[in-house]
């Protein structure tokens, strides 16, 4: 039995579907029940901040795919309470239940810098897993894309909101290595099947680096838009994002997200091939859904 925490998210849905297709028994751990789980999949409602709900979810589990993380703080759910302490809670419950393998999905730019709470919380999560004594694998993907809401959909929404302009934070120079969610899922499944990945931490990215400007131009082209590219200084955009956060419950962008758009989020161009033996998909081959 494999437990997928955050099984209702973009990555979680793909992981669950593929596990079911390959005949694995699967249990989903999610904060909100949402739609009924697929046939043959158990659903457990709980909160990563609640150790008791994690203990219930871990009963009878052999391996865990840990996907729960937030990029926005809201309603008491903070980076430290969810990304960091939530992972510590999952680790403790996994050890108590005798879980064989802990596969964790983090991010390329985690960092031991308390001044930047989001990447710091991701680093703390990774450290908790490394120090746990569990058999583990840590996967750290760059920007993910797929046929469901994600960064590219956010770019499309921003183009609609700011037309005829396309706003480029800090000149749009931040670099990313978009990785198809199906390819990340393949990496996760290979970690579950092979002990050769135990104790490893892998940074993963697609076959090509893209600047934020190029991503905007790609999305605009798919949407048949020709925006005027407008570079705005980071401090001005952060001030605007903070103002939006005061008046909107779910603003288009937050200061933390802006920060992530302005820094490089890349790794070796052949990272997936070296670690898992295949070449991941190109971004351009999987953006047609944006035409909807």
Q: How confident is the model at residue 35 (pLDDT cuts 50, 70, 90)?
A: low
Q: What is the pTM for the complete model shown?
A: 0.94
For residue 57, the domain's CATH number is 3.40.50.720
| 98-108 pLDDT per residue, tens | 999 999 999 99
Most confident of 29-38, 150-159, 271-280: 271-280
Q: What is the DSSP string of the chain?
A: -EEEETTTSHHHHHHHHHHHHTT--EEEEESS--SPPPTTEEEEE--TT-HHHHHHHHTT-SEEEE----SS-BTTB-IIIIIIHHHHHHHHHHHHHT-SEEEEE--TT--S-TTSHHHHHHHHHHHHHHTS-SEEEEEEESSEE-SSSSHHHHHHHHHHHHTTEEEEEGGG--EE--EEHHHHHHHHHHHHH-GGGTTEEEEE--SS-EEHHHHHHHHHHHTT--PEEEEE-HHHHHHHHHHHHHH-SS-S--HHHHHHHHS-B---TTHHHHHHSSPPPPGGGG-GGGG-
In a domain, 121, yes or no: yes
In a domain, 35, yes or no: yes
The answer to whether residue 36 scores a pLDDT higher than 60 is: yes
For the chain, how many structural domains are there in total? 1
| 203-253 pLDDT per residue, tens | 999 999 999 999 999 999 999 999 999 999 988 999 988 888 888 888 888
Could you give the CA distance from residue 200 to residue 196 in angstroms, rounded to a whole number? 9
In a domain, 98, yes or no: yes
* Domain of residue 44, residue span: 2-141
The answer to whether residue 276 scores a pLDDT higher than 70 is: yes
In a domain, 224, yes or no: no
In a domain, 192, yes or no: no
In a domain, 254, yes or no: no
In a domain, 134, yes or no: yes
In a domain, 162, yes or no: no
């Amino acid at each position: 039995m494999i437990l997928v925490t955050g099984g209702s998210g973009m990555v979680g849905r793909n992981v669950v579907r593929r596990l079911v297709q390959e005949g694995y028994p699967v249990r989903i751990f999610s904060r909100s029940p949402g739609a009924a789980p697929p046939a043959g999949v158990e659903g457990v409602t709980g909160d990563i901040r609640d150790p008791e709900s994690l203990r219930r979810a871990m009963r009878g589990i052999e391996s865990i795919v840990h996907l729960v993380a937030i990029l926005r703080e809201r309603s008491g759910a903070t980076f430290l309470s969810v990304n960091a302490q939530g992972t510590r809670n999952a680790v403790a419950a996994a050890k108590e239940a005798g879980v064989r393998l802990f596969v964790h999905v983090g991010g390329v730019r985690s960092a031991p810098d308390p001044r930047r709470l989001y990447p710091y919380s991701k680093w703390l999560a990774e450290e908790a897993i490394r120090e746990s004594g569990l058999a583990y694998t840590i996967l750290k993907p760059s920007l993910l894309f797929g046929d469901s809401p994600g960064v590219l959909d956010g770019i499309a929404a921003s183009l609609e909101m700011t037309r005829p302009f396309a706003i480029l934070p800090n000149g749009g120079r931040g670099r990313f290595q978009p990785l198809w969610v199906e390819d990340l899922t393949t990496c996760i499944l290979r970690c579950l099947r092979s002990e050769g990945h135990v104790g490893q931490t892998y940074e993963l990215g697609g076959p090509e680096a893209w600047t934020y400007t190029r991503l905007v131009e790609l999305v605009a082209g798919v949407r048949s838009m020709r925006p005027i590219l407008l570079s705005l200084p980071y401090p001005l955009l952060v001030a605007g994002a903070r103002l939006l956060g005061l008046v909107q419950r779910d603003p288009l962008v937050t200061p933390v997200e802006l920060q992530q758009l302005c820094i490089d989020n890349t790794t070796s161009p052949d990272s997936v091939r070296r670690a898992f033996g295949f070449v991941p998909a190109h971004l351009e081959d999987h953006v047609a859904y944006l035409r909807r």
